[in-house]
Structure 1
Amino acid sequence: LSEEPRPGAERKLTGKEEALLVATACAKPPAGRKRWTLTLLADTMVKLTDHDSLSGETVRRRLAENDLKPWRRDMW
């Protein structure tokens, strides 16, 4: 049994950008914030990369692949 490749959009983040996302999520959040949120991470990634926009869902999926949950205190 085999399946044909499924259609879908290419990944929005490259490997280097995903590494930057993980490093950013593991760093201290901006001043005035206790922890990172998906929206805050997405907005920060837009500033750090050439992307015009990035959704919180894209950020959530990439973090889930790396088993990271920066919004939880007990992640560390």
Structure 2
Amino acid sequence: MARINFTVTGMSCGHCAASIKEEVTGVPGVREVDVDVAAGTVAVEGTNLDEALLRTAIVEAGYEVPGTLAA
């Protein structure tokens, strides 16, 4: 199982986390999404993950993804 970590800006509450989880969970291969609002990170675990699709899902939820962290 692969893990990709993103830094995400614009998150400030539990609703933000829920919005991101909802969008990212719909990406093929995603098994788990962990959103840490305080740290500004989103960790995604799954198989055959497509980083571009994950970034797009986060952006569609209304947040910015300025970079990717090392796993």
TM-score tier, shorter chain, comes to 0.3 to 0.5
Structure with more of its chain in strand, by fraction: 2
Normalised TM-score (structure 2): 0.35
**In terms of Rg, which structure is larger?**
1
Considering Cα pairs closer than 8 Å and 6+ residues apart, tell me whether 1 or 2 has the greater RCO.
2
